Amino acid sequence: CGHCKRLAPEYESAATRLKGIVPLVKVDCTANSNTCNKYGVSGYPTLKIFRDGEEAGTYDGPRTADGIVSHLKKQAGPASVALTSVAEFEKFIGDKDASVVGFFGDASGDAYSEFMKAANSLRDNYRFAHTSEEQLVQKYENDGEGIVLFRPPRLTNKFEESSIKYPEDKITSGKIKKFIQENIFGICPHMTEDNKDLIQGKDLLVAYYDVDYEKNAKGSNYWRNRVMMVAKKFLDAGHKLSYAVASRKTFGHELSEFGLDSSMGEAPVVAIRTAKGDKYVMQEEFSRDGKALERFLQDYFDGNLKKYLKSEPIPESNDGPVKVVVAENFDEIVNAEDKDVLIEFYAPWCGHCKNLEPKYKELGEKLSKDPSIIIAKMDATANDVPSPYEVRGFPTIYFAPAGRKQSPKKYEGGREVSDFISYLKREATNTPVLQEEDKSKKSKKKVKEDL
Residue 350 known to be catalytic: yes
Active-site residue among 29, 36, 188, 353?
Answer: 353
Give yes or no: 4 in active site: yes
Q: Other C-beta atoms within 10 Å of 286: how many?
A: 21
* Residue 1 falls in the annotated catalytic set: yes
Of 4, 29, 36, 188, which one is the catalytic site residue? 4
Contact 243, 187 (CB under 8 A): yes
Tell me, yes or no, if 29 is annotated catalytic: no
Number of CB atoms found within 10 A of residue 205's CB:
24
Give the strands of the sheet with 409-410, arranged side by side: 323-324, 373-379, 340-346, 396-400, 409-410
Catalytic pick among 1, 29, 36, 188: 1
Q: Can you state the angle between helices 110-122 and 173-183, rounded to 10 degrees?
A: 50
Phi, psi of 380 (to 5 degrees): -75, -5
Which residues are known to be catalytic? 1, 4, 350, 353
